[in-house]
Amino acid sequence: MVKSKTKYEATQDEIKVLFLHHGLGNVTGVSPLGNGEFNAAYEVTCNDKDHYALKIAPPEGMKVLSYEKNMMESEVFWYSTMHENTDILCPKVYAVDFTKKIIGCNCFIMQMMQGKPLSELNLSEDEYDSVLKQKLSVLSKIHRIKGTGFGYRHREQYATWDEALMSMANSIISDCRALGYQTPYGERFVRCIDKHREILKRVPCRMVNFDLWDSNVLFNEGRICLIDPERGFWGDPIGDFITLAPGQKSPLSEKQDALEIYNSFAEEKIVLSEETGIRFALMVCYLALIEEVEKYVRYEPDNPNYVRNTIDATDMYEMAFEIL
């Protein structure tokens, strides 16, 4: 399991009591699960045959970014929302425990899905093409889910996307200052939001996953499964193209193949234009701001991921600012 300052390390005794309390059986095996860098996750076996995934939020009082507080509630909501509105393959939630009485953090138990993350696989060309089409079909289904207010589900909602994005950006900038750092790039990003308010006011309110990296997509027997949607929000669906090839450091104009496939599935097409290019660049800036600031609460300066975040954020900002 990836080391991170935000991860809670549960004891086997805590996990055993939790599963008994929720009527899921006697725990006979526990092992760390996944490479996430925020929550802790475990594969739990009950009665030597039933497999579950247990996810545990950071301890209360742990330094996290403001938008990450109570984010687990959001993850449970998005799983439920996808099950209710789509046929997307994702885990079923069996038990939610936010009492902190057994494990001292919010946690929930869900279905243990089969397969391995795409990031760990060496796919053939045919498999890669199939996966790309499936990912874009999934995104088109996610983007059909309409919201009534913009922003994070577990935080304040806004009437328009410009208001929500401004609030989301300023929240992270405030976190940065509270941690004792400055973010000139982040402040420039806020000025760009203000500059392009009229474009942002026209954005439709849709479910946005915003974390569809290959590490959050399982692949099994030719089919993909979505996991870890906790960073989702109601906002601009164009933000979900960040994770698609050739990656987060490339403008929307270099993702035409993905756009064409997506539009073959989507009810609302995303057409490449100056306006959609600006919207995409602003979403890249938002991701860059998150990466820039989150390193201060997750890693020590000598951690390779601290350095990775610094480099990635700078590259993303510089690409986006050329457009904005």
pLDDT, tens digit (0-9, with 9 covering 90-100), for 219-258: 999 999 999 999 999 999 999 999 999 999 999 999 999 9
Residues 6+ apart with CB under 8 A from 175: 65, 66, 293
Average pLDDT over residues 199-210: 98
Say if residue 3's pLDDT is above 60: no
Average pLDDT over residues 174-183: 98
pLDDT, position 1? 46
Lowest-confidence segment of 57-71, 144-158, 257-271, 284-298 by average pLDDT: 57-71
Average pLDDT over residues 308-317: 97
Say if residue 7's pLDDT is above 90: no
pLDDT, position 5? 64
Q: Count the neighbouring beta carbons within 10 Å of the beta carbon of residue 113.
A: 16
Residue 239's region, left for phi above 0, alpha for psi from -120 to 50, else beta, is alpha
pLDDT, position 174? 98
Residue 173's region, left for phi above 0, alpha for psi from -120 to 50, else beta, is alpha
Average pLDDT over residues 11-16: 96
Give the predicted TM-score (pTM) of the model: 0.94
Average pLDDT over residues 103-114: 96
Distances (CA, A) of 81 to 76, 88, 161, 297: 9, 10, 21, 30
Distance CA 68, CA 236 (A): 19
Q: Is the dihedral of CA 295, 75, 158, 211 positive or negative?
A: positive
> What is the C-alpha radius of gyration for the chain, rounded to an integer number of angstroms?
20
Q: Do the bridges between strand 93-97 and strand 107-111 make them parallel or antiparallel, or are there none, so unpaired?
A: antiparallel
pLDDT, position 62? 83
Angle subtended by helix axes 304-323 and 274-298, to nearest 10: 160
Q: Output the 3-class SS for the chain.
A: CCCCCCCCCCCHHHHHHHHHHCCCCCEEEEEECCCCCCCEEEEEEECCCEEEEEEECCCCCCCCCHHHCCHHHHHHHHHHHHHHHCCCCCCCEEEEECCCCCCCCCEEEEECCCCEEHHHCCCCHHHHHHHHHHHHHHHHHHCCCECCCEECCCCCCECCHHHHHHHHHHHHHHHHHHCCCCCHHHHHHHHHHHHCHHHHCCCCCEEECCCCCHHHEEEECCEEEECCCCCCEEECHHHHHCCCCCCCCCCHHHCHHHHHHHHHHCCCCCCCCHHHHHHHHHHHHHHHHHHHHHHHHHCCCCCHHHHHHHHHHHHHHHHHHHHC
The band of 4, judged by pLDDT with boundaries at 50, 70 and 90, is low
All domains in the chain, ordered by first residue: 12-113 (3.30.200.20), 117-323 (3.90.1200.10)
pLDDT, tens digit (0-9, with 9 covering 90-100), for 57-81: 998 888 899 999 989 999 999 999 9
Q: Is the dihedral of CA 66, 307, 252, 324 positive or negative?
A: positive
Burial class (CB in 10 A: 0-12, 13-18, 19+), 204: middle
pLDDT averaged over every residue in the chain: 95
Q: Do the bridges between strand 223-226 and strand 217-220 make them parallel or antiparallel, or are there none, so unpaired?
A: antiparallel
Per DSSP, what are the bridge partners of residue 95?
109
Lowest-confidence segment of 76-80, 159-163, 295-299 by average pLDDT: 295-299
Distances (CA, A) of 166 to 149, 161, 209, 282, 286: 14, 8, 19, 11, 10
* Structure token pair of residue 145: 């889910």
Distance CA 316, CA 313 (A): 5
Question: Cα-flanking dihedrals φ and ψ of residue 151, to 5°?
Answer: 120, -170
